[in-house]
Chains A and B, each alone.
Chain A
């Protein structure tokens, strides 16, 4: 239904991204890439770099386009719509996090490399599966293995990890620093993932760029990064709704289009409501994504709503499509698998909801954006 208000420049970003992806992405292409060795086409990556996508929201001083988080989110939304998998989302997330933690230019050298087209990924386990402890000459990590997207293809790995106390550290290492700690594993969707075992890893002092980052600051940086994923999920949900509505007009059963049956119409309307709610909250969070804890809470709410909506709409879309929607001949299978995978990358639902409870319900009067 009615879209949010984009400035002319933002509308241009959106239109360019949509046109670029439409030029080559379809189900056959997605299937082909998923079966390929790298999972994406490096030549396309060069093209996306040339379009300025991976550094769209980075400052001019590191070769970025000086755009906003909204610009980056519009690009990830289009990738989400197309079900297009590449290291772009992770690179944008890593860069966003470094920008937020490194207002003092701490990460500018790596951000410049990203501006030049290098690939980055982000390790920030949402359920605090890895912690950092001070050790002689740096930090030593402990915890259970975590899943990371596109690490095998990345040049840089950004780590944002809690310390044993309350604070967090921010570190950045060349990907080969992690050596054989990363094992490629199959993913339920078309993104590439590794299982990364950081237990016992020593991070020397020089790779740890930020120490004593407060939990609030770290949460804010990661919330901005996660909003990019939320926007991708919103895009995915929107595409599924539009695609399913189109199918309901084309496909006839019992002598009429599916869209004339009230049971189907109501499914479709519920999908619209879910996708719209997620989009409204995501856009509101993007608009409010300024430093501060309250915006962090809204961003987390947007991530939750986007994941829930994407999964809800693909489940219903599969029902409306029937058998054809479950085959690899139809693009819906990519959305179906990506929806759950992208939702799960935010960690455990119950943990996220408890955080939201603390942020939105317990929060007291007089706080900007407070529920009460």
Chain B
């Protein structure tokens, strides 16, 4: 029996840590502050940081060397993502971990030659355009239409929850090219420059302080060469990208448990033979076990990818565990803090730097983003257990 972490992976991690420890402290501090405020989208400093990593050959750990990557397995790639998250630094998020690998599998040779070098250089950032006001997890009912006009498509419609829409350079856009009644069989996928004429972006501010956007498409013209795969066959690319997305959640719960432990320790709540200390130790112990399991769910998926398999139900299990655990840890933390927990992030008096409060405010997204957890449970029932649809 062997698990996926071996000497090669340990050496990789040691090299990565030593590289990150040696980075310009000013760049790291600025990036970290920005990332803590809003981890969903690298802004000015985050972009600067990713370009630094790219220049030093650290982006695209599992990308093949022919595309400028390190040619390692998904296991090292996941360890990279986890390590950066543990330091609260961006790791390339959807662009590196989702769009790049999907393009490698589904893109045309011209698209790969065009996009992959610029992604791995840190020059391009993608935002994902699936959701619409009337279609959340039910992506088969998309209404945004792409109508063929010669060598181009003309797109009209509205997208919502496009996180990073205001910082992205490109849009990974799902649009209907077939009839509405064809459901998922009438959807195509396109790459569109975010500054294409006809695109307008409206910010949406969430309760957790993160920014997302609404995107309006008004007669946006897209060359047919920018369609991924055949017309009406975009669903395969969407499913592929979603599986990557659900695998590349990393060990954020570990970071949150660390915040909780650090705060409780500073308050002296974890020591002594009091009923309160005992109760807290019990909860911390169980969260710690769940954090270990979180890591193993992700590593199982990475191991499958490395072996050329596609995690489906396994990706869904990973996504559910991760999202629910983060919410549980932040909730436990605030229960423990009590009324001081009402002091918001930004105040020097906010317990645990406000991370638990901020975490809980952001937590609803973790349970439905990337497909609601209820949909994930259905995927497990279908693909993991063979239940009838």
Contacts and interface: CB of A to CB of B under 8 A. Distances in A.
Interface stretch (B212-220, B330-338, B375-383): B375-383
A259 B384 CA distance: 12
Contacts of A360: 285, 288-289, 292
Contact of A354 (B285, B300, B317, B377): B285
A166 interface: no
A4 B304 CA distance: 10
Contacts of A269: 376-378, 380-381, 384-385
Q: Tell me the dominant secondary structure on chain B's binding face.
A: helix
B56 to A, nearest CB: 25
A4 B270 CA distance: 36
A273 B284 CA distance: 21
A287 interface: yes
B118 to A, nearest CB: 35
A372 B282 contact: no
B349 interface: no
B261 interface: yes
For chain A, the bracket of interface size reads: 35 or more
Contact of A257 (B283, B292, B309, B388): B388
A7 B292 contact: no
Chain A at the B interface: mostly helix, strand, loop or mixed? Answer: helix
Given A268-B381, A276-B317, A372-B258, A283 B3 contact: yes
A6 interface: yes
A288 to B, nearest CB: 8
Interface stretch (A54-62, A297-305, A336-344): A297-305
A128 interface: no
A249 B385 CA distance: 10
A266 B2 CA distance: 31
Given A262-B378, A266-B374, A350-B282, A280 B296 contact: yes
B292 A298 contact: yes
A357 B384 contact: no
B266 interface: no
Nearest to B265: A362
A257 B270 CA distance: 50
A288 B384 CA distance: 27
B34 interface: no
Contacts of B378: 262, 265-266, 269
A350 B317 CA distance: 27
Given A276-B297, A353-B285, A284 B3 contact: yes
B377 A1 contact: no
A144 interface: no
Interface residues on B, range: 35 or more
B314 A357 contact: no
Interface string A247-267: 011000000110110100110
A254 B189 CA distance: 40
B181 to A, nearest CB: 23
B302 interface: no
A283 B297 CA distance: 12
Interface string A104-142: 000000000000000000000000000000000000000
Interface in A220-265: 241, 245, 248-249, 256-257, 259-260, 262, 265
B223 to A, nearest CB: 40
A240 B384 CA distance: 15
Contacts of A280: 293, 296-297, 300
A355 B285 contact: yes
Contact of B2 (A5, A249, A265, A298): A5
Nearest to A371: B288
B321 interface: yes
B254 interface: yes
A243 B386 CA distance: 13
A269 B320 CA distance: 11
A206 B320 CA distance: 55
A241 B381 CA distance: 11
Nearest to A278: B293
A2 interface: yes
A268 B374 CA distance: 12
A371 B257 contact: yes
A94 interface: no
A372 B258 CA distance: 7
A34 interface: no
Interface in A315-372: 349-350, 352-358, 360-362, 371-372
Given A1-B317, A353-B281, A354-B285, A277 B293 contact: yes
12 contacts: A4-B1, A5-B1, A6-B1, A7-B2, A268-B380, A269-B384, A281-B292, A284-B3, A353-B281, A353-B282, A360-B292, A371-B254
